Amino acid sequence: MSKTPLQPLALERVPLEGINLIEASAGTGKTWTIVALYVRLLLERRIPAERILVVTFTKAATGELKSRVLERLTALRDALAGDIEAMRTSDDPLLRHVAHSSRDPASDAQWLTAAIESLDLAPIHTIHAFCHRALGEEAFHCGLPFDSELLADDTALLELAVNDCWRRAMAEAEPLWALWLQAHKVEPATLLAVVQELRNKPGAEHLLPQAPPRDAEARYAACYARARALWREAADEAFEALERSLVNRKSFTRSNTARWRESIDACLAPAAPHLALDECMERFTAEALAQHCKTGVPHPLFEALDALWHDARALEGAFAARYAHWCVQTYHEVMRAVGAHKRKRRVRAYDDLLRELHAALHGPQGEALAARLRQRYAAALIDEFQDTDPVQYDIFRAIYAGSGQPLYFVGDPKQAIYAFRGADVYAYLAAADDADAGYTLGVNHRSSSALVRAVNLLFERNGNAFLFERIRYRAVEAAGRADGRWADEGGGVAPLQFRFLPAGDKALNKTTVAERVAESAAAEIATLLQRARRGEVRVDGRPLSGGDIAVLVNTHRQADLVKEALAAFGVASVTYGQDSVYHSAEAEEYAQVLAAVAEPSHEGLVRAALATEMLGFTAEDIEALNRSDAEWDATLERFVHYHRLAVEHGFMYMWRELMRREEVPQRLLALPGGERRMTNVLHLADLLHEAATADGLDLEGLLHLLVRARTSAVGDPEAQQLRLESDQHLVRVLTVHASKGLEFPVVYCPYLWHGKRYAADAERLVFHRDGRVCVDFGSEAMDEHRALAMREEWGERLRLAYVALTRAKYRCVVYWGAVRDACYSALAWLLYGDARETAQDFVERFRKLKSADLLAPLQALAERSEGALSVTVLGETAEEAEPLERENPTAGTVEARAFSGAVPAPWRVSSFSGLVSREERESPDYDASTVVRRLAAPDGVREDMFGLPGGVRTGTLIHALFERIDFRSAAGPEVEALVARTLREHAYDPRWQPALVRMLADVVATPLDANGLRLERIAPQQRLAEMAFVFPVGQISIAALREACESLRETGSRLPDAVGRLVLAPARGFVKGYVDLVFEFEGRYYIADYKSNWLGERYEDYALPQLAAAMSESFYDLQYLLYTVALHRYLELRLPDYDYERHFGGVYYLFVRGMKPERGPASGVYATRPARALVERLDALFTREAGCV
């Protein structure tokens, strides 16, 4: 029991100081109480909203809490400004309390108004958000850097560190140790799982077996060598002696002996020792032969086999102990390595926030830090405190303990069900011991009075319902708010109903029962909804609908069974839970399709994508494509098109086009479970789009993320949880974990009979000793600890059952019976357990009970319930029900509303390409538009610049080379090394090194004009690479732009006509861009832009007419005008005597594939110098349209 006695909570008597624990049973108004205490702190202690900390454990919960606080404050303010007497007689306890305690209602109303206006600043956070804010605001006192990047997930860092540990260990591993690891399927992923498990249990005590003897492997190897030598030398002699010595030939028949001898012969054939000894070798040990031979061991060979067999068992134990020590050693090494990496890179993950704040509070500056946090947060309310862990509790204890400032822990240990996430109910129990005062919420506002009475009866039957004396069931009263809201013309139906599955002498098969209860529940639900349509079952005055019903399950397999059974009866349902969408089948298909889009020239990947249900090609369809070159080429062109869209417009743009063109929604929605499939596809698109925009991932990066997310945790788990696929009219199928905090009018619990036998050979055990979590890796006391671990795991199943049984408002249906392993279930202990017996004793007693023994006590309980609980014995055959006809919620023709408003152009930062193609990217232009042309062209024909593949990767590579080289010395070993290094960095085929080295030398040596200007004459201090610029623009008029460019027509430019065909994105804001190269030569400033466009395989293809066509086709002439305006503005600011005619030299577009020194500027060089009047006119146009005067 708690050291702090718990008393019923009376709102007005809860002190506004000290540490207070509030135990809130299911449905007793936990959130209402938190908001009420928040109001009291505001009004009675005059603590501003910005200084009241509220912590809960999910982002969704913080949003709900903030909404409830706002709603409550607004209602109270309005009430205080109205009739105070009416408040004093209100049914609402908070209104009554505020009315009686308020000395100045007008002042209180003003204070509440101020709180409402500042609520956006109110610290209502998740625990991680609170720690992040505290560390950021108090970085100096925490001894931490002021700037650090927050990682959504650090699994990749853990994987790297684990892989490093694995490689080092394997490099030094002895052969037998390596074989043992392989036989036990130990790999880096296994170690990663151990590391993550231990990290989730900070402060745990690791209990290890004794260190193994160092010579165990050598001793076994010597034993193997001796046995093998004797076998090869004396096997015939030994088996002849055995034959003479045998007295019991029942098992040692000649055929058996021959077969066993053959197996041992194969086992001892390898010269190198191994661990795969055949089980038949045990028959020739001393113990076994003593039972069959008259003279004991008849030959030294069998003594050698006996020694080998027992040494193998000893080595197995030694390796198991070695593995346990290695796991813990690896955990510490990984934590040190990852910590060092994070400190070096100044990054931290979410869980680091808790550890760092905890460490800071217990460090040299801990007291000063706690004092500053108390000053910042004068009061704190911690919601869902049963899901805390020792680190989280210790943080708040370090801040508030002994200060007298108000701290409230609100939770329910009976609902502590997240141990698998690291939650520790013992931390809650420690807080209960430390609290200055403790309270209970004893009135259930959720369920009907009869249902509350039935649940009380069920949990009070066993005096130790939760297997822990510290976690007690306290009966609650019913507020009665739900009474009278449920109407069933069948009449007399108990709110808690048991469906009993009878059995004979043998327990029922779990698999059979799992299907049977799904069918039974589905039939009942179908019948219930049929009756509701006839008006026989009503809730809150309306017919019961599918959305009022929830079916709670433990596993996804059970959820699938229920969904299939409901569908068979025509009942539409929806599943949701806490699973990651990355683990869905759609994620696997998504990866296949994305791989094909990322590499459309790989025909195998394209075929694999086509074969997915998402794209819907059958084997016959693909075979037909293979037989038609035209159709196959068209298919490949589609994927090339998707690739180009992704490169030029981004992932989401591409994905929407692929969905539309490939008719993905139509195809998926036509399949069984189509809504679920389509929801997952859209959810995955959202997640990948967020990753692409937040982390700048390209197709390859997104594919890597998708593949990694399917095998390990990445990103925000809350954002990845499966979404609801439809609306509230469908029956909900969800896990008990996902149901926590929710309520439903009707709840079915078909699987509470499901029990799980605790693994007797578990490698690790988790249990608590003196309140501290322990992880046993195989200590000498492991058998004793196994009982403790089993008890704790069973206790969590009991708490899960409590959560399941308290979700219903009016009716809860539970299935039960003599099912195999039901002795380990929560219901078994609740219905038949005795508080005086141990869990193991109970299991042994329960196993002896027959079906009738289980039914009788349940019926007796129903008789005592006064109609609150009933028992129905199910027949041997499945229930029948008429299939539910699907309702059409909309009648008649459905039309979409026409939008008649105007959407103003958004303010944004765009690039040149964004203006002309609605592209959102702000990055250098690296010739992405050439990807289609080069993917379609054959590779490997030439290994010069004409054969170099095109696309954004090539453009990026070439730009990187020009940024790094010194133009004055673009040849020689240093340049060759630079090119080789750059190729490696860009994952580019090294065979292109010679071509790129020659290209660099040719480009810098090629004359750019008739006066001999060459890049090789430009010193590093005379050049500026990737010059970024930003200037304001408005909603540019096509007519005004075309008029400004009209003067170019005299030069032969096609830009005036092209501008007329241009579709400008309606952008207002700023244009941002990058000029490849700005250089100064003899007092004049020039612009140069590198182009890797492939125009042909001859230098003649890069003559001026071809270059002019390429410039016009890609709007490069508009691009260089934009660059010229940017440089013009820049020089105006930087040069005091700037004059365009004197200082601006011109523009060079360098098509590097076609440049050769001996050909001069006639090949690959497009040179121009816009007229001053045109530049100034464009400058004025951009300025005017932007509203800049």
Assign domain 581-712 to a CATH class.
mainly alpha
Distance, in Å, from the CA atom of 1170 to the CA atom of 1157, rounded to the nearest integer, reads 26
Q: How many residues does the chain have?
A: 1189
Please list the residue range(s) of the chain that carry CATH number 3.40.50.300. 6-148+349-441, 477-578+728-873
Provide the pLDDT confidence category of residue 348 given band limits of 50, 70 and 90: confident
User: Which pLDDT belongs to residue 934?
Assistant: 35
- Per-residue model confidence as pLDDT tens digits over 520-572: 999 999 999 999 999 999 999 999 999 999 999 998 899 989 999 999 999 98
Q: Which residues contact 384 (CB under 8 A, 6 or more apart)?
A: 56, 57, 61, 410, 411
User: Which pLDDT belongs to residue 1058?
Assistant: 62
Average pLDDT of 606-631?
90
Distance, in Å, from the CA atom of 591 to the CA atom of 598, rounded to the nearest integer, reads 10
Strands 1068-1081 and 1023-1033: what pairing?
A: antiparallel
Average pLDDT of 812-827?
94
User: Which pLDDT belongs to residue 294?
Assistant: 75
State yes or no: pLDDT of 837 exceeds 80. yes
Q: What is the mean pLDDT of the chain?
A: 86
Distance, in Å, from the CA atom of 1087 to the CA atom of 1150, rounded to the nearest integer, reads 10
User: Which pLDDT belongs to residue 519?
Assistant: 95
* Amino acid present at 997: V
Please list the residue range(s) of the chain that carry CATH number 3.90.320.10. 907-1185
- Per-residue model confidence as pLDDT tens digits over 684-722: 888 888 888 877 778 888 888 887 776 655 555 554 455
CB 11 within 8 A of CB 94: yes
> Residue 426: how many CA atoms within 13 Å on its side-chain side?
17
User: Which pLDDT belongs to residue 887?
Assistant: 59
CATH label, 907-1185, candidates 3.30.930.10, 1.10.287.180, 1.10.1530.10, 3.90.320.10: 3.90.320.10
Structure-token pair, residue 74: 């607004």
State yes or no: pLDDT of 976 exceeds 60. yes
State yes or no: pLDDT of 677 exceeds 90. no
The residues that are catalytic are 1089
What string of DSSP letters covers 1051-1062? GT--HHHHHHH-
Question: Strand pairing partners for 567?
Answer: none
Provide the pLDDT confidence category of residue 76 given band limits of 50, 70 and 90: very high
Please give the backbone phi and psi of residue 1025, each rounded to the nearest 5 degrees, phi first: -90, 145
Distance, in Å, from the CA atom of 867 to the CA atom of 545, rounded to the nearest integer, reads 25
Distance, in Å, from the CA atom of 834 to the CA atom of 832, rounded to the nearest integer, reads 7
Percent of the chain beyond pLDDT 70? 88
Please give the backbone phi and psi of residue 37, each rounded to the nearest 5 degrees, phi first: -65, -35
More reliable by pLDDT, 251 or 822: 822
State yes or no: pLDDT of 395 exceeds 70. yes
CB 1015 within 8 A of CB 967: yes
- Please tell me the pTM assigned to this model: 0.73
Q: SS3 for 752?
A: coil
- Per-residue model confidence as pLDDT tens digits over 274-307: 888 888 888 888 888 877 777 767 788 888 888 9
State yes or no: pLDDT of 585 exceeds 80. yes
Nearest C-alpha neighbor of 450 from the set 473, 425, 483, 420? 483
**Residue whose tokens read 């590093």:** 1020
- Per-residue model confidence as pLDDT tens digits over 485-494: 999 887 668 9
State yes or no: pLDDT of 73 exceeds 60. yes
Provide the pLDDT confidence category of residue 1066 given band limits of 50, 70 and 90: very low
CB 687 within 8 A of CB 581: yes
Structure-token pair, residue 327: 């796991």
Average pLDDT of 349-353?
87
Q: How many contiguous H segments (helices) and E segments (strands) does the chain have?
A: 46, 30
Q: Which of 108-112, 129-133, 135-139 has the lowest mean pLDDT?
A: 135-139
Assign domain 6-148+349-441 to a CATH class.
alpha beta
What string of DSSP letters covers 56-92? ESSHHHHHHHHHHHHHHHHHHHHHHTS-HHHHHT-S-
State yes or no: pLDDT of 1014 exceeds 90. yes
Q: SS3 for 760?
A: coil
Average pLDDT of 391-397?
95
CB 842 within 8 A of CB 834: yes
Average pLDDT of 405-419?
94
Average pLDDT of 886-902?
62
Provide the pLDDT confidence category of residue 1057 given band limits of 50, 70 and 90: low
Nearest C-alpha neighbor of 952 from the set 705, 1154, 700, 687? 700
Neighbours of 1152 (CB within 10 A): 22
State yes or no: pLDDT of 940 exceeds 50. no
Q: Which alpha helices (H) appear in 569-614, and where do they start and end?
A: 585-598, 603-610
CB 866 within 8 A of CB 880: no
Q: SS3 for 636?
A: helix
More reliable by pLDDT, 939 or 113: 113
Alpha-carbon dihedral angle through residues 942, 946, 952, 957, given to the nearest 10 degrees: 80
Provide the pLDDT confidence category of residue 639 given band limits of 50, 70 and 90: very high
Provide the pLDDT confidence category of residue 936 given band limits of 50, 70 and 90: very low
More reliable by pLDDT, 938 or 247: 247
More reliable by pLDDT, 501 or 709: 501
Provide the pLDDT confidence category of residue 1178 given band limits of 50, 70 and 90: confident
State yes or no: pLDDT of 245 exceeds 50. yes
Question: Strand pairing partners for 1028?
Answer: 1074
State yes or no: pLDDT of 1061 exceeds 70. no
Distance, in Å, from the CA atom of 244 to the CA atom of 221, rounded to the nearest integer, reads 31
Average pLDDT of 46-50?
95
- Per-residue model confidence as pLDDT tens digits over 992-1008: 999 999 999 999 999 99
477-578+728-873 in CATH: which number?
3.40.50.300
* Amino acid present at 902: A
Strands 537-539 and 542-543: what pairing?
A: antiparallel
